[in-house]
Amino acid sequence: MINTIWLIFFLAGFAAAAISGRVDVITTSTLKASEKAVTIAIGMISVIAFWLGLMRLMEKSGLTLVLARVLRPVVRLLFREIPPNHPANGAIVLNLSANLLGLGNAATPLGLKAMQHLQDLNREPGRASPSMCTLLALNTSSLTIVPTTVLALRAASGALDPADIVGTTLVATAASTLIAVLCDRVARYLSFRRPGR
């Protein structure tokens, strides 16, 4: 669907340029945008490599286990349906840890792995379980302590102080996560009160 939308945008822009007789603007804009995209991507590599390396060091030093221990009670509270020693707990903790560090790309495979484990526990395979909905809400709202990817984009774009958004990001993501959890709890409550459940 998104590919279709982008194709429509592209064709509409091309048609508008052809009608106004300014097709050369498309060529110039495309080349400039491509050049900027490559510059930003190369700039991001260093920052993302740094944070992924730091995450690896945290993993090797046992700091991620400490983070996992801190998050485990929260996971147990939010995901009561999951048995205590089920692999889904570990996958969820790792996914939340990656999100806390703003490593969206690294968090995605961990989130997919957690969803696979939750699907194994799902009594209605054709329908999302409450735990799956909770995990999706947490991933969408994504409490972030260090917005690594955004910092990388800002640094690559030449921001004077790329880290000046850390405080506001923490406040915004804390608020969005709190609201997501509250909405998830309300939706669960209403779902279980519905007749036939």
* Of 26 and 51, the one with more pLDDT: 26
Q: Are 107 and 95 in contact (CB under 8 A)?
A: yes
Residue 10 lies in a domain: no
Q: Could you give the 3-state DSSP secondary structure of residue 62?
A: coil
- Residue 147 structural domain: 25-193
Residue 89 lies in a domain: yes
Q: Which positions ≥6 away from 147 have C-beta within 8 Å?
A: 102, 165, 166, 169
pLDDT tens digits along 144-188: 888 877 887 788 778 888 888 989 999 999 999 999 999 999 988
Residue 196: per-residue pLDDT: 54
Residue 18 lies in a domain: no
pLDDT tens digits along 35-83: 888 877 776 677 667 766 776 777 678 776 677 678 788 888 899 888 8
Please give the Cα distance from 126 to 193 (Å, whole number): 21
Mean pLDDT across the chain: 82
Domain count, the chain: 1
**Tokens 């969206």 map to which residue?**
104
Residue 127 is given by DSSP the state: S
Residue 19 lies in a domain: no
**Tokens 């490559």 map to which residue?**
38
Residue 2 lies in a domain: no
Residue 55 lies in a domain: yes
pLDDT tens digits along 91-133: 888 888 888 877 766 677 778 888 998 998 888 888 888 999 9
Residue 79 is given by DSSP the state: -
Q: Are 149 and 102 in contact (CB under 8 A)?
A: yes
Residue 1 lies in a domain: no
Which of 119, 110, 136 is CA-nearest to residue 82? 119
Residue 134 lies in a domain: yes
Provide the whole-model pTM: 0.67
User: pLDDT tier at 87 (50, 70, 90 boundaries)?
Assistant: confident
